[in-house]
Amino acid sequence: MALLSILRSNWFIIGIVLVIISAKFDPDIGSKGGILKPEITVKYVAVFIIFFNSGLSLKTEEFTKAIFQVKIHVFIQGFTFIIFPLLMQTLATLLASGPFDKHLIEGLKVLGCMPPPVSSAVILTKAAVGNEAAAIFNSALGSFLGIFVTPTLILMVVGSQADVPITTIIVQLCMTVVVPLVTGQVVRRFVRVWMERTYIPFSTIGSGILLLIIYTTFCDTFSHKDVNLDAINLMSIILLIVIIQSILLTLIFFFSSWKQAGFQPVDCPAVMFCATHKSLTLGIPIVKIIFSGDPTMSVITIPLLVYHPTQILIGSLIVPFLRGWLLLQSKHRKNITRHV
């Protein structure tokens, strides 16, 4: 019974380990063009379900309130498109004189220019019982800004020139984010009373979809056999990215939980994940366009290919901690209110 209880309470972490092992065993199943067809099932269907799920479960007044939380938006977008690129540029400069592959270093600069993801930050924030509305708003806003800002930043740091299909990306963003979110909100108006009486495991549904995304992401990563890079450089970049993410998540957690920063405890997960996560979905197409015909493109994309599954893995591992921390903060506030 005790073992069963442990398995139930940690099913998500166990699931992460199992899907990664499965992805390594046969990556062709979940990679692009494989049996699962992630270019359709994940890119469109799974993401649609995620945001329909969010629109259905999110109280309209909470989302409206989140739109006016300017301080959160300014911090997340500023960190994403100003501070993060500067940090990567500085790190690339420091590594330039070392043994790192120069194209790998260029890939770190490109990584710093990427917009936030459309889905993973929202799912992780929701799983941590954080400010989901703020996460949705900033993921959508950051992705939209990234269409224009990311190519500009890349051109500034690497000096390439290319035309980016802005219209195509905007249409895709609207179809996968805006339409399902609005649809969910509309449906909610008709079933709100029923939903208040019925328990619907929105968090579990989101976690299940996240496992699918983790699986297909690792399948896609493990299937890239055309990457010409020695093992030392590859292991070094993996270790470096794990360190970068761990440091940034820790720093942003302490900053966002600092009272003088002006954020609420529930805002911490949204700020942490939206500010530090990078989009593979929007990033790879932009990189492919800008570096079209460049034989080193496969190496340049490695930091992003490594960063994406790492951010989901680390984020998933710290979700239980954040959920527990928010619960303690809530109890602490209730105790203070009682004494007052």
Residue 147: which of 121, 172, 182, 180 has the closest Cα?
A: 172
pLDDT of residue 166: 62
Share of the chain above pLDDT 70, in %: 83
More confident position, 67 or 268:
268
pLDDT at 163 over 60: no
Provide the CA 39 distance to its chain's centre, in angstroms.
17
**Nearest Cα to Cα of residue 128 among 194, 66, 210:** 210
> What is the rounded CA–CA span in Å between residue 191 and residue 177?
21
pLDDT of residue 254: 94
Q: Does the structure show a pLDDT above 70 at 100?
A: yes
Q: Which amino acid is at 336?
A: I
Global confidence as pTM: 0.72
Distances (CA, A) of 256 to 86, 176, 241, 269: 20, 29, 22, 9
> Which fold would CATH assign to domain 14-219+229-339?
Na+/H+ antiporter like fold (1.20.1530)
The mean pLDDT of 104-121, rounded to a whole number, is 87
**Domain definitions of the chain by residue range:** 14-219+229-339
Q: pLDDT band at residue 43, thresholds of 50, 70 and 90?
A: confident
Kindly list the distances between the CA atom of residue 211 and the CA atoms of 221, 264, 314, in Å, as whole numbers in the listed order.
15, 29, 13
Can you give the pLDDT at residue 159? 67
> Cα–Cα–Cα angle for 98, 237, 215, nearest 5°?
170
**338 pLDDT higher than 70:** no
The pLDDT, as a whole number, for residue 84 is 96
Average pLDDT, the chain: 81
* CB contact set of 59 (below 8 Å; sequence gap of 6+): none
Task: Give the pLDDT confidence of 301-317 residue by residue, as tens digits.
Answer: 788 878 888 888 899 88
Give the mean model confidence (pLDDT) for residues 278-282. 77
Residues 217-256 pLDDT 10s: 778 767 766 555 677 778 888 899 999 999 999 999 999 9
Determine the pLDDT at residue 310. 87
Look at residue 126 in the predicted model and tell me its pLDDT. 87
Kindly list the distances between the CA atom of residue 29 and the CA atoms of 37, 115, 213, in Å, as whole numbers in the listed order: 8, 28, 13
Q: Looking at per-residue confidence, does 144 or 89 come out higher? A: 89
